């Protein structure tokens, strides 16, 4: 086996593809466009789920579950929603197989055709609002704050592990409110939750913003988003939160009686993040040696590699180390003492590096003599000899330091790759030679946005929420603009 990954400089795209497989996160399944998320990858996802789920609960939400299948007719009720998803829907038409009487092969039983076809959910707004109709009569029934963890299917033409697969895992929050202001507040609140999660857990700095009308979710009045910048200078949308207005209430006739006894339409939001965050995590921190994980999301936070000749020596190391291992575990740090006798230390070093374990400890006969441990940190690849008496404190501190260092590095990268430009020449030049976020004035029209996209492949990633008012001229048309927006090529 070639032990080295393709480097990021050689071919960023290959680097990513190889890394996902070699770090044991996921692999292509035999089904086109679908992936198998392997235990190591799924452990990371579970940690994300846990953290997010706690945050959802803390903001008053509850989990529920809605069907995988959506009757086709539901879709047609919200015009822009259908238009947005129609091209990528999997459709169930039959409910039974049979053995062909001639060949004996398993075939679709044409007699078992569904009266109404079912769509495999690409998102659940329609079935949920069809359900909410039955839950809501009075203002007393509001708000409804529900989330579901599930899989969805979007029949993508081109797929990449985690970044875009035909089936993916996500959560989708769907809330119902009595007033416009409350729904907007909810959409903004969940954007904050996502941003906090991205920065504190994934260690990924994000720009909070709103989407241009062209990039808005199908059926939304406003789409809020968090945008991150990857190491190759391309942007990645890491989460979205939508203010849906009354569009779905109108489509599904969901009304409530207010305090004054008058009937009103319900206001809605929806918000989601997906296994795509795995892609963001990988592309933000990892290096040419493999995966780099922030400690808060690493399934194994500390790996201990014993170095020994005879099994007797291994036992000596084990005796020395186990109380320390137990002590770390009591503090909630996940530790693996790797006593696998079939792998050599060098192999284990490389393996834990590939898999992104934040801290690796090596302990051998020399360390037993000197009461030391070799401490290696994944993010900087630094190695230090530490007294065994101090190693617990060292490890605890490293959990904090590595988490922080990864964030700082990513923020530095983003800062250095966010450039203000004021002319079309500058715009195309920066895009061609450097990439990254381009902060520029835009006249706000869909036409200009489209032309820029056609010419450069760069899109308006978002209008940052914190963008200051600033008089300027659109980089492309020269028409007046009141604030800068962020452009970039995107995943």
Closer CB to RNA, 75 or 168, in the complex: 168
Q: Which of 381, 393, 400, 446 binds RNA (CB under 7 A)?
A: 381
- Tell whether residue 367 is a contact of RNA (CB under 7 A): yes
| Contacting residues for 295 by C-beta, under 8 A, at least 6 apart | 301, 358, 359, 398, 399, 400, 402, 403
- Window 90-129: contact mask with RNA (x via CB under 7 A): ----------------------------------------
Q: How far is residue 137's CA from residue 17's CA, in Å, rounded to a whole number?
A: 50
Closest CA to 294 of 44, 38, 41: 44
Closer CB to RNA, 27 or 420, in the complex: 27
- Tell whether residue 345 is a contact of RNA (CB under 7 A): yes
Closer CB to RNA, 257 or 325, in the complex: 325
- Tell whether residue 166 is a contact of RNA (CB under 7 A): yes
Closer CB to RNA, 159 or 481, in the complex: 159
Q: Which of 40, 72, 133, 164 binds RNA (CB under 7 A)?
A: 164
- Tell whether residue 3 is a contact of RNA (CB under 7 A): yes
CA dihedral 244, 250, 253, 259 (to 10 degrees): 70
Q: Binding segment for RNA among 27-35, 57-65, 255-263, 326-334 (CB under 7 A)?
A: 27-35
Specify the residue for token string 């079935």: 127
| DSSP code at position 202 | S
- Tell whether residue 156 is a contact of RNA (CB under 7 A): yes
User: Mapping DSSP to helix (H, G, I), strand (E, B) and coil, where does residue 44 land?
Assistant: helix
Q: Binding segment for RNA among 105-113, 295-303, 366-374, 414-422 (CB under 7 A)?
A: 366-374
Return the exposure string of 175-205: e unless at least 16 CB atoms fall within 10 Å of the residue's CB, then b.
bbbbeeebbbebbbbbbebbbebbbebbbbb
Residues 35-94 touching RNA, rule: CB under 7 A, are: 84, 87-88
| Contacting residues for 402 by C-beta, under 8 A, at least 6 apart | 294, 295, 358, 359, 377, 378, 379
The footprint of RNA on this chain (CB under 7 A) covers a number of residues equal to 59
- Tell whether residue 31 is a contact of RNA (CB under 7 A): yes
Q: Element (H or E) spanning 407, and its range? A: helix 391-416
Question: For residue 170, how many other CB atoms are within 10 A of its CB?
Answer: 17
Q: How far is residue 114's CA from residue 93's CA, in Å, rounded to a whole number?
A: 6
Q: Which of 374, 399, 463, 464 binds RNA (CB under 7 A)?
A: 374
| Contacting residues for 127 by C-beta, under 8 A, at least 6 apart | 66, 67, 70, 74, 121
- Tell whether residue 32 is a contact of RNA (CB under 7 A): yes
Q: Write down the least CB distance from residue 28 to RNA, Å.
A: 4
Q: Write down the least CB distance from residue 304 to RNA, Å.
A: 11
Residues 400-429 touching RNA, rule: CB under 7 A, are: none
- Window 269-308: contact mask with RNA (x via CB under 7 A): -----xxx------------x-----------------xx
E strand intervals along 100-143: 106-108, 113-120
For 283-336, give the DSSP string: HHH-BTTB----GGG-SSSEEEEE--SSHHHHHHHHHHHHHHHHHHHHTT--EE
Q: Binding segment for RNA among 127-135, 196-204, 247-255, 361-369 (CB under 7 A)?
A: 361-369
Q: Cα separations (Å) of 141 from 24, 268, 319?
A: 46, 14, 60
- Tell whether residue 351 is a contact of RNA (CB under 7 A): yes
Please answer whether residues 49 and 42 qualify as being in contact, where contact means their C-beta atoms are separated by less than 8 angstroms. Answer: no
Closer CB to RNA, 48 or 254, in the complex: 48
Chain positions contacting RNA, by CB under 7 A: 1, 3, 13, 17, 22, 28, 30-33, 84, 87-88, 154, 156-160, 163-166, 168, 215, 217, 237, 240, 274-276, 289, 307-310, 342, 344-347, 349-351, 353-354, 360, 362-367, 374, 376, 381, 383, 457, 491
């Amino acid at each position: 086996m070639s032990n080295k990954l393709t480097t990021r400089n050689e071919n960023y795209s290959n680097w990513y593809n190889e890394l996902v497989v070699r770090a044991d996160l996921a692999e292509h399944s035999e089904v086109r466009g679908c992936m198998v998320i392997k235990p190591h990858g799924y452990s990371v996802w579970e940690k994300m789920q846990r953290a997010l789920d706690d945050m959802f609960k803390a903001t008053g939400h509850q989990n529920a579950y809605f069907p995988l299948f959506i009757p086709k007719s539901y879709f047609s009720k919200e015009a822009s929603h259908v238009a947005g998803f129609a091209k990528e829907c999997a459709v169930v038409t039959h409910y039974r197989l049979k053995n062909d009487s001639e060949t004996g092969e398993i075939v679709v039983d044409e007699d078992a055709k569904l009266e109404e076809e079912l769509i495999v959910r690409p998102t659940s707004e329609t079935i949920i609002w069809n359900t909410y109709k039955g839950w809501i009569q009075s203002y007393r029934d509001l708000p409804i704050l529900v989330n579901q963890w599930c899989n969805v299917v979007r029949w993508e033409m081109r797929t990449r592990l985690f970044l875009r697969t035909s089936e993916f895992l996500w959560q989708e929050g769907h809330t119902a409110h009595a007033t416009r202001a409350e729904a907007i507040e909810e959409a903004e609140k969940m954007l904050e939750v996502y941003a906090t999660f991205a920065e504190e857990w994934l260690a990924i700095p994000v720009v909070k913003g709103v989407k241009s009308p062209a990039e808005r979710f199908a059926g939304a009045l406003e789409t809020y988003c968090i945008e991150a910048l990857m190491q190759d200078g391309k942007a990645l949308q890491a989460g979205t939160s939508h203010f849906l207005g009354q569009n779905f209430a109108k489509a599904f006739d969901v009304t409530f009686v207010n305090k004054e006894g008058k009937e009103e339409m319900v206001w809605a939001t929806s918000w989601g993040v997906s296994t795509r965050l795995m892609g963001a995590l990988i592309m933000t921190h990892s290096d040419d040696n493999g995966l780099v994980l922030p400690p808060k999301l690493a399934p194994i936070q500390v790996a201990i590699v014993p170095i020994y000749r005879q099994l007797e020596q291994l036992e000596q190391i084990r005796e020395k180390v186990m109380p320390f291992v137990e002590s770390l575990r009591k503090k909630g740090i996940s530790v693996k003492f790797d006593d696998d006798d079939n792998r050599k230390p060098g192999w284990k070093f490389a393996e834990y590096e590939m898999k992104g374990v934040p801290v690796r400890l090596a302990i051998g006969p020399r360390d037993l003599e000197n009461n030391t441990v070799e401490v290696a940190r994944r993010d900087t690849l630094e190695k230090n000899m530490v007294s065994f008496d101090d190693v617990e404190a060292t490890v605890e501190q490293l959990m904090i330091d590595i988490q922080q260092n990864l964030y700082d590095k990513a923020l530095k990268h983003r800062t250095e790759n966010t450039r203000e430009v004021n002319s079309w020449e500058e715009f195309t030049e920066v895009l061609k030679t450097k990439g990254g976020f381009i902060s520029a004035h835009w006249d706000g029209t869909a036409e200009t946005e489209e032309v820029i996209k056609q010419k450069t492949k760069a899109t308006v990633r978002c209008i940052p929420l914190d963008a200051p008012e600033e008089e300027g001229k659109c980089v492309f048309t020269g028409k007046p603009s009141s604030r800068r927006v962020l452009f970039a090529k995107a995943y």
